[in-house]
């Protein structure tokens, strides 16, 4: 009897040690949420703890549905949940964006990741970490422009279309993300990455936060988007799951109030 009890307790203990940890990769949605110029302002109306809020789809940490740039592609609520998560592949380009805010992630960056961590897994969520998360929610710094209502003056990093085309033709990804306001870099006028992703029915994630809190391989990333009827995007709660054995810098999902 005692022996059996010990065995049962031990198996419970090992179940506990296999538990996963959640890491929030989402900026606060609120009055300081950053929108692309031209969008209506965030509107939070206090109604005695049964409040009302109105937000543009493309603000803060959010999803670009494939329909955003491709007619006939999935709207927000049509994206299958199976396509909204996968193994996390973080492409850290902080050393390159430091002196070049117009940096675009290259095929070489993807090759460098694969040399260190192996082939990009199937159904991956591939995200650029440019270090931009630390600038949020300062508009001047995020758009890297003193005229944050004029996109022609924006200078922030994004993906190069050649790297994205290679990813779609040679690997299998579920979602492509950035920690900046757009999957195309700030100086883009034709938004080729948005077009390529839309046509391939691949959602994009923008303004992903706190990527330094997770390892660049070995996590799972989830893009839990609002189930918005006919949406072209919408706010997402992005989070990663991580096993306790992985090295992590910070594990603190709290942040300052806004």
Ligand X SMILES: *[C@@H]1O[C@H](CO)[C@@H](O)[C@H](O)[C@H]1NC(C)=O
Looking at 56, 64, 159, 167, which residue binds Zn ion (CB under 5 A)? 64
Q: Is 184 in the site for Zn ion (CB under 5 A)?
A: no
The residues, any chain, with a CB within 8 Å of residue 252's CB and separated by 6 or more, are none
Task: Check binding of 75 to ligand X (CB under 6 A).
Answer: no
Rounded to whole angstroms, what are the CA distances from 118 to 112, 115, 133, 166, 247?
10, 6, 26, 16, 18
Q: Is 52 in the site for ligand X (CB under 6 A)?
A: yes
Q: Which of 2, 152, 190, 252 binds ligand X (CB under 6 A)?
A: 252
Alpha helices in 40-106 (DSSP H): 94-97
Size of the site for Zn ion (CB under 5 A): 2
Closest CB to ligand X among residues 96, 199? 96
Q: Using the rule CB under 6 A, is 8 a contact of ligand X?
A: no
Query: Which H, E and C letters describe 208-224, residue by residue?
Result: CCCHHHCCCCCEEEEEE
- Structural element, H or E, at residue 49: none
On whether the CB atoms of residues 237 and 11 are closer than 8 A, the answer is no
Put residue 233 in one of left, alpha, beta given phi > 0 → left and psi -120 to 50 → alpha.
left
Position 117 contacts ligand X (CB under 6 A): yes
Q: In this chain, which of 94, 123, 141, 237 binds ligand X, going by CB under 6 A? A: 141
Which among 26-34, 134-142, 221-229, 230-238 is the span making contact with ligand X, rule CB under 6 A?
134-142
**Which is closer to ligand X, CB of 83 or CB of 144?**
144
179 is a site residue for Zn ion (CB under 5 A) = no
Among Zn ion, ligand X, none, partner that 64 touches (CB below 5 to 8 angstroms by kind):
Zn ion
Residue 226: exposure state from Cβ atoms within 10 A (0-12, 13-18, ≥19): middle
Task: Give φ, ψ of 116 to 5 degrees.
Answer: -85, -35
Cβ–Cβ < 8 Å for 213, 241: no
Q: Which residues in the 54-73 window bind ligand X by CB under 6 A?
A: 54
Residue 230 touching ligand X (CB under 6 A): no
Distance of CA 112 to the CA centre of its chain: 21
Nearer to Zn ion, 76 or 219 (CB): 76
CB of 120 to Zn ion, least distance (A): 23
Under the rule (CB under 6 A), what is the footprint of ligand X?
43, 45, 52, 54, 101, 116-118, 138, 140-141, 144-146, 155, 217-218, 252, 254-256
């Amino acid at each position: 009897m005692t022996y059996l009890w010990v065995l049962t307790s031990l198996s419970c203990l090992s179940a506990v040690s296999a538990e996963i940890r959640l890491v929030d990769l989402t900026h606060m949605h609120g009055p300081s949420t950053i929108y692309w110029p031209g969008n209506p302002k965030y509107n939070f109306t206090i109604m005695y703890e049964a409040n009302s809020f109105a937000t543009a789809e493309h603000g803060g940490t959010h999803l670009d549905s494939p329909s955003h740039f491709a007619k006939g592609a999935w709207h927000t609520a049509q994206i299958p949940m199976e396509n909204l998560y996968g193994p996390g592949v973080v492409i850290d380009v902080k050393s390159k964006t430091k002196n070049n805010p117009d940096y675009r992630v290259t095929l070489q960056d993807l090759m460098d990741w694969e040399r260190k961590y192996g082939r990009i897994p199937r159904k991956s969520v591939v995200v650029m970490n440019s270090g931009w998360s630390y600038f949020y929610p300062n508009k001047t710094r995020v758009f890297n422009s003193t005229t944050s209502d004029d996109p022609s003056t924006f200078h922030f990093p994004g993906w190069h279309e050649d790297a994205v085309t290679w990813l779609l033709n040679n690997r299998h990804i579920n979602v492509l993300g950035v920690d900046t306001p757009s999957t195309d870099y700030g100086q883009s006028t034709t938004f080729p990455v948005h077009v390529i992703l839309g046509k391939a029915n691949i959602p994009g994630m923008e303004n992903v936060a706190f990527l330094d809190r997770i390892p660049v391989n070995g996590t799972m990333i989830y893009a839990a988007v609002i189930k918005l009827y006919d949406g072209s995007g919408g706010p997402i709660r992005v989070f990663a799951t991580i096993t306790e054995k992985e090295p992590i810098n910070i594990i603190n999902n709290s942040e300052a109030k806004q």
